[in-house]
Amino acid sequence: MNTIMHFFSSITNSSEPYMILLPLGLIIIFAKVLSIFCKKIGMPQVIGFLISGIALGAITLIPNQTIFTDSTTAGIDFIAKIGVILIMFSAGMETDLQKIKSSGIASLIVTSLGVLVPLGMGAGLAFLIFPNNNPWTNIFYGVLLTATSISITVSVLKELGKLDSKVGVIIESAAILDDIIGIILLSVVLSLGATNTSGGNVPFIGTSGNSNLDILYVVLFMIGFFAMCALLWWPINKLFSWLNNKWPRHRRIPIFGFGLAFILAYVAESIFGVADITGAFMAGLMISKTKSKEYIDYKTDGETSLLFSPVFFASIGLMLWDLNGITSNFILFGILFVIVGLLSKVIGAGIGGLITKNNLKDSTIIGVGMMVRAEVVIVCATKGIEGELLDDSIMPFVIILIIASSLIAPILLKLLYRHKKDDNNQNNQMNDKENI
């Protein structure tokens, strides 16, 4: 028996692509079973996906298990990445540009307060507990709390049919602005922090030796990205209108749509330093007014819901088990960091909502919707640790913040909307589709 096992284990090297089939099969079955259960008890299905990831993550505790290896986890991450790109592409297509224009000032106020309050509270907490730290380190803890990732909120609002409501549009617009402000803050604090610590090895310092110039470049590249999108707008619109006239409701049109989303997401991140999900969102936005939009969105939803979306959310749940290297004197700060992270965004963005004349319930929804953190915080934290500004004990708490916000926000949103019948009911056509 051992002989034959040894034989097959030697034929089937652990980095073989087929090794991904077991974790993938387990994830989609667990995710679907738990999401059916969640739907039954009136919870968003996304919660079921997340819990399935947490549950399956327990497998990683088994010594020498071969289900979640470095290789299969990398494969899952690729699929999760495609999932989040397609989710944001769909969100872009479903965004009503006219509404964003009309909510422009409101979104700007919501974003500003939704960034400043977490920045202030996070940095304040760090100064309180670590008064002797490099001040830039403490400020960086605040910066970590600024980045919102609204893909889960978008899914929940979609499931509730509220994506195109006034509140939904404010959240989406604010999240786009949030991404921009977030990356500027990251770049600024990293530059200044490294310049002032002398021990830091932030990679881009020392190439120009001039951090102000670096910040200028970052901002210019970000403006460059949106300028490129503006330039591409007309030709992309023409192309997709032409495709739709030539081959109406034909499979090749969503394929070209996916191609556009993938490439624009890549270009955003690799050339312009803007988050890839922002690129995918812009790709969706670009074709949101073409006649082919409805069919592309329908096919995107179909493609996502069967495989990519459960895998994306489960992969976030899986992260919980990635806890190591935590030091005991860091635990108090870490726990408070998570609590401040959750509350500060609700307070900041919520006050922004109140100022811009939303009622208390809508403002709370805005705050809760902006509360969710995801991969952007991880990227920022990694950057801070690499630049020797942050202690790497913060990582487990970053992951707890992501999972906690991902679990709490959908539940609160669902509860907040439960008795809210007075909202605009224009999206009832969503209800006859099964969601995610």
**Residue 181 CB, nearest approach to its own copies (Å):** 17
| Residue ranges in 72-131 that form contacts with its own copies under rule CB under 8 A | 74-75, 77-82, 85
Judge whether 253 and 292 are in contact, CB under 8 Å: yes
Using CB under 8 A as the binding criterion, the count of chain residues that bind its own copies stands at: 74
Binding window for its own copies (CB under 8 A); candidates: 10-18, 97-105, 162-170, 358-366: 10-18
Binding window for its own copies (CB under 8 A); candidates: 70-78, 364-372, 399-407, 423-431: 70-78
| 139 lies in the site for its own copies, by CB under 8 A | no
| Residue ranges in 161-190 that form contacts with its own copies under rule CB under 8 A | 187
Closest CA to 24 of 84, 76, 85: 76
Binding window for its own copies (CB under 8 A); candidates: 118-126, 131-139, 264-272, 322-330: 264-272
Q: How far is CA 369 from the centre of its chain?
A: 12
Q: How far is CA 326 from the centre of its chain?
A: 25
Question: Which of 97, 227, 231, 306 is in the footprint of its own copies by CB under 8 A?
Answer: 306
Q: How far is CA 368 from the centre of its chain?
A: 15
Q: What is the x/- site pattern for its own copies, positions 25-64, by CB under 8 A?
A: xx-xx--x---x----------------------------
The dihedrals phi and psi of 87, each to the nearest 5 degrees, come to: -60, -45
**Residue 436 CB, nearest approach to its own copies (Å):** 9
| 402 lies in the site for its own copies, by CB under 8 A | no
| 69 lies in the site for its own copies, by CB under 8 A | no
DSSP 247-292: STT-THHHHHHHHHHHHHHHHHHHHH---HHHHHHHHHHHTTTSTT
| Residue ranges in 416-435 that form contacts with its own copies under rule CB under 8 A | 434
Question: Which of 57, 254, 284, 367 is in the footprint of its own copies by CB under 8 A?
Answer: 254
Question: Which of 37, 127, 130, 266 is in the footprint of its own copies by CB under 8 A?
Answer: 266
User: What is the number of residues in the chain?
Assistant: 436
| 208 lies in the site for its own copies, by CB under 8 A | yes
- List the alpha helices (DSSP H) in 371-393: 375-386
| 360 lies in the site for its own copies, by CB under 8 A | no
| Residue ranges in 213-242 that form contacts with its own copies under rule CB under 8 A | 213-214, 217-218, 221
Judge whether 152 and 171 are in contact, CB under 8 Å: no
**Residue 293 CB, nearest approach to its own copies (Å):** 16
Largest CA distance in the chain: 73
Question: Which of 101, 238, 252, 418 is in the footprint of its own copies by CB under 8 A?
Answer: 252
Judge whether 277 and 266 are in contact, CB under 8 Å: no
Binding window for its own copies (CB under 8 A); candidates: 16-24, 164-172, 234-242, 331-339: 16-24
Please tell me the distance from the alpha carbon of residue 352 to that of residue 332, in angstroms, as a whole number.
30
Q: Which residues contact 203 (CB under 8 A, 6 or more apart)?
A: 386, 387
Nearer to its own copies, 221 or 321 (CB): 221
Query: Which sign does the torsion angle of CA 343, 174, 171, 423 carry?
Result: positive
